[in-house]
């Protein structure tokens, strides 16, 4: 992946580390870090924030109190401008592993709660950018394989991402049956607009959720599948051949002590798995994310053993981009894919190691945004540079989401390989 210069130049030393408070897509403060090197290199990065977060994620630091409704990040910014600044000054910006190791050691906690994962990640990603003298995706690839990812485009929002009665958090279209990323993206955009027409005709068109997808109230969750299927057809594409469906159930959000609360019922893990199987029988679903709660390992392994041959089963809250959690998932065959979010683990280097661990086990990888996103498009370069094969970055609407798609279109002018999936 990322390689250091065999003979680092003193001109690549970090000279300045500064943080500022900026806004994310939900109008909440977040941390932006800017790195300058002695040779004039510059990198800037913004930490995203999640809404449906796993319990085992790295912890973003928030101020509490009355300012910014308790969501301020002045303490995290102070850590960047103080301890992190002092630790990184003079380090070779090309030494990503050394920088990230220093940041983890400086924090000293298992979940980055002292300095804040938002502070640490902002610094780590800014260093990555400052070290790159050309396209960031090529710097990440370091002469290794790279390709444009198949997008999972969240066009109908529910769960924690929408003020609706829909339990499933994300209904996504996956335009995989195309020869290029620009063609695939166009098909996904056309399907998004077709869904708008379908919902309008049925009197269901309202606002959008955190990730830009439409957020209607629906009689049951399966209606979301029906509407997305109809939108694919309305757009003129063949469901299952050109465009398929992916779901992020985010089951942790409706997992309670007595069972899973979905469609007005309380289901056991086995019963919920049977419901998913019925959906697989009826709709062209190629990917199912967070089908069960983050600690319901038995349901994960049971479902993967039964359905893993015909659908990608993705762990997000289950793994939180954490090598310890992923190692258990591999050993127990709990899934066959992992969602990758940089801010769940908190540094570039740790994220790359998790990707390698997943690949060694034959797991598919999906690079993902967060619901509280920013204009920062780094995950587009990350998906291409790591040859991840898939990216999940919301609806083709709102600049916090389209910034990633636009960067992929730019990269497509230089990197023409498009991942063949499903």
Q: Where are the domains of the chain?
A: 10-133, 150-411
* Selected catalytic residue, list 60, 97, 211, 373: 211
CATH superfamily, domain 10-133, is Enolase-like, N-terminal domain (3.30.390.10)
Query: How confident is the model at residue 53, as a pLDDT?
Result: 74
Q: Spell out the SS3 assignment of the chain.
A: CCCCCCCCCHHHEEEEEEEEEEECCCCCEEEEEEEEECCCCEEEEECCECCCCCCCCCCCCCCCCCHHHHCCCHHHHHHHHHHHHHHHCCCECCCHHHHHHHHHHHHCCCCCCCCCHHHHHHHHHHHHHHHCCCCHHHHHHCCCCCCECEEEEEEEECHHHCCCCCCCCEEEEEECCCCCHHHHHHHHHHHHHHHHHHHHHCCCCCCECCCCCECCCCCCHHHHHHHHHHHHHHCCCCECCCEEEEEECCHHHHEECCEEEECCEEECHHHHHHHHHHHHHHCCEEEEECCCCCCCHHHHHHHHHHHCCCCEEEECCCCCCCHHHHHHHHHHCCCCEEEECHHHHCCHHHHHHHHHHHHHCCCEEEEECCCECCCCCHHHHHHHHCCCCEEECCCCCCHHHHHHHHHHHHHCCCCCCECCCC
Cβ atoms of 377 and 403 closer than 8 Å: yes
Give percent of the chain above pLDDT 70.
96
Place of tokens 């790591």: 386
* Selected catalytic residue, list 32, 112, 190, 341: 341
Which is it for strands 255-256 and 243-248: parallel, antiparallel or unpaired? Answer: unpaired
Helix 117-131, helix 96-107: angle, nearest 10: 170
Does 373 qualify as catalytic in the annotation? no
Query: How confident is the model at residue 164, as a pLDDT?
Result: 78
Query: How confident is the model at residue 54, as a pLDDT?
Result: 74
Which is it for strands 390-392 and 259-262: parallel, antiparallel or unpaired? Answer: unpaired
Does 211 qualify as catalytic in the annotation? yes
Burial class of residue 8 in the structure, from the number of CB atoms within 10 Å of its CB (0-12 exposed, 13-18 middle, 19+ buried): middle
Query: How confident is the model at residue 10, as a pLDDT?
Result: 44
CATH of 150-411, picked from 3.20.20.120, 3.30.230.10, 3.20.20.80, 2.40.420.20, is 3.20.20.120
Question: For residue 127, how far is the Cα from the chain centroid?
Answer: 20
Query: How confident is the model at residue 159, as a pLDDT?
Result: 81
Query: How confident is the model at residue 52, as a pLDDT?
Result: 64
Query: How confident is the model at residue 163, as a pLDDT?
Result: 63
pLDDT digits (tens, 9 = 90+) for 74-111: 999 999 999 999 999 999 999 999 999 999 999 999 99
Question: For residue 101, how far is the Cα from the chain centroid?
Answer: 23
Q: Which of 38, 59, 39, 40 is nearest to 50 (CA)?
A: 59
* Alpha carbons 213 and 168: distance in angstroms, whole number: 13
What is the edge-to-edge ordering of all strands in the sheet holding 42-46?
14-23, 29-37, 42-46
Ranges of the chain with pLDDT below 50: 1-10
pLDDT digits (tens, 9 = 90+) for 150-181: 999 999 998 876 667 899 999 999 999 999 99
Query: How confident is the model at residue 390, as a pLDDT?
Result: 98
| Structure-block tokens of residue 337 | 């894919």
CA distances 377 to 70, 96, 114, 400, Å, are 27, 19, 27, 8
């Amino acid at each position: 992946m990322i390689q250091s210069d065999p003979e680092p130049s003193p001109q690549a030393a970090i000279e300045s580390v500064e943080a500022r408070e900026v806004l994310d897509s939900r109008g909440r403060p977040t941390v932006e870090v800017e790195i300058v090197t002695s040779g004039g290199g510059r990198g800037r990065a913004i930490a995203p924030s999640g809404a449906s977060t796993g319990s085992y994620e790295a912890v973003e630091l928030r101020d509490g109190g009355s300012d910014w409704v308790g969501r301020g990040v002045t303490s995290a910014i102070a850590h960047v401008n103080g301890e992190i600044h002092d630790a990184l000054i003079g380090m070779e910006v090309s030494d990503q592993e050394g920088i990230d190791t220093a940041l983890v050691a400086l924090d000293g906690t298992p979940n980055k709660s002292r300095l804040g994962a938002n502070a640490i990640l902002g610094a780590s990603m800014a260093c990555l950018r400052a070290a790159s003298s050309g396209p960031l995706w090529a710097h990440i690839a370091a002469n290794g394989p790279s390709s444009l990812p198949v997008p999972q485009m969240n066009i109908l929002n529910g769960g924690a991402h929408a003020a609706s009665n829909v339990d499933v958090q994300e209904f996504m279209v996956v335009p995989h049956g195309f020869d290029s990323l620009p063609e695939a993206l166009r098909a996904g955009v056309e399907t998004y607009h077709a869904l708008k027409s379908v919902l309008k005709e049925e009197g269901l068109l309202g606002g959008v959720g955190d990730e830009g997808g439409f957020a209607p109230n629906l009689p049951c969750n399966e209606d979301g599948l029906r509407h997305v299927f109809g939108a694919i057809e309305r757009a003129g594409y063949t469901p299952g051949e050109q465009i398929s469906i992916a779901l992020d159930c985010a089951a942790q959000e409706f997992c309670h002590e007595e069972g899973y609360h979905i469609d007005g019922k309380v289901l056991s893990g086995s019963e919920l798995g049977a419901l998913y199987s019925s959906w697989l029988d009826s709709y062209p679903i190629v990917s199912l994310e967070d089908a069960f709660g983050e600690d319901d390992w038995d349901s994960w392994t049971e479902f993967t053993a039964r359905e893993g041959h015909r659908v990608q089963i993705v762990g997000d809250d289950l793994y939180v981009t954490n090598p310890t959690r992923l190692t258990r998932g591999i050993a127990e065959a709990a899934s066959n894919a992992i969602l990758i979010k940089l801010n769940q683990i908190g540094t570039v280097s740790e994220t790359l190691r998790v990707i390698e661990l997943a690949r060694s086990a034959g797991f598919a990888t999906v690079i993902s945004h967060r619901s509280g996103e920013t204009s920062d498009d780094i995950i587009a370069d990350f998906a291409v540079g790591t040859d991840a094969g898939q990216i999940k970055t919301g609806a083709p609407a709102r600049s916090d989401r389209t910034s990633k798609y636009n960067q992929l279109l730019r990269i497509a002018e230089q990197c023409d390989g498009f991942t063949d999936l499903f």
